[in-house]
Amino acid sequence: MPGRLTVCPTPIGNMDDVTKRVREALVEADYIACEDTRRTGRLLELMEISPRPRLVSNHEGNEVSRAAELVKRIERGDRIALVSDAGMPAISDPGYRLIRACIDRGLEIVVLPGPSVVPVALVASGLPSDRWRFEGFLPKRAGEMERVLNSAETVVAFESPRRISKTLAALAAIAPEREAAVCREMTKLHEEVTRGTLSDLALRFKGEAKGEIVLVIGPAESAEHGQDIAFAVEALKRLVQSGARPRAAATVVATLTGTRANDLYKALTGREPRR
């Protein structure tokens, strides 16, 4: 009988955040696929898991070949636990290729709930959380950064402690009064959330920071968004006049402008898109 892949989120800082189900999955696994075998080995020691399953490296450099190998093991009946160094695998961490390979072969996948710094930082920021998106790492080019700032949604992004000063200065040059928060070392001993405008934060973080950082940026003001919608609708009209289908064109324009495809479609046609 085929085995299964269990995706196991690991603590992002505080060991007490590991769940009972994650611990059980790690104990039962024949192999644990992990970013850093030394770090995961230390995690298993802290969790007092002994004897421990065999650790297999699964990182950015070998993920393609390792996914093929692990899929074969699952087909032979092995139980594989997938972890990253911290948080949920495949969220800006290795894991997607292995998960996709298992889906393509029709193998069982169990995804366990657990810690992730993304929603933790979003809620701690105090910024709107009804509509938000995860950007991964922010783009470095000014034009692409401006696209992010034009979003009508709150944006959550990772940032390097070495680049946070430069990134905040660039963002502040575009939208100095935009509300934002720098969330550092979440759930750890030196957890810190610094809130303010982008210009305030750029002054606060003038040098290199320490620890893992999540940047949360509030949505564009409604007036700004109104301008974005008007520009996007005009672009959509031109595409449709050139022969593009309204729904497909709305999706393309929404991706490029950060607006909602449904809003664009309704503005163009006067009716809600069909579900």
Instruction: Put residue 27 in one of left, alpha, beta given phi > 0 → left and psi -120 to 50 → alpha.
Output: alpha
% pLDDT > 70, the chain: 95
For 72-115, write each residue's pLDDT tens digit.
999 999 999 999 999 999 998 999 999 999 999 999 999 999 98
Pick from 26-30, 89-93, 135-139, 223-227: least confident:
223-227
For 144-194, write each residue's pLDDT tens digit.
898 889 888 999 999 999 999 999 999 999 999 999 999 999 999 999 999
pTM score of the predicted model: 0.74
**Distance in angstroms (rounded) separating the CA atoms of residues 217 and 145:** 12
246 pLDDT above the threshold of 60: yes
- Give the per-residue pLDDT at 223: 41
% pLDDT > 90, the chain: 68
Pairing between strand 179-184 and 213-217?
Answer: antiparallel
For 187-244, write each residue's pLDDT tens digit.
999 999 999 999 999 999 998 889 999 999 999 874 444 555 777 888 889 889 988 8
28 pLDDT above the threshold of 50: yes
The residues spanned by each domain of the chain are 4-111, 117-220, 223-269
pLDDT bin (cut points 50, 70, 90) of residue 275 is: low
**Mean pLDDT in residue range 36-42:** 95
**Distance in angstroms (rounded) separating the CA atoms of residues 118 and 156:** 7
Candidates 31, 29, 89; CA nearest to 59 is 89
Residue corresponding to tokens 């020691």 = 45
| 4-111 homologous superfamily | Tetrapyrrole methylase, N-terminal domain (3.40.1010.10)
Q: Is domain 117-220 given the CATH code 3.30.950.10 in the classification? A: yes
Answer yes or no: same fold for 4-111 and 117-220: no
**Distance in angstroms (rounded) separating the CA atoms of residues 84 and 100:** 16
- Give the per-residue pLDDT at 224: 47
**Mean pLDDT in residue range 5-10:** 97
SS (H, E, C) 224-238: HHHHHHHHHHHHHHH
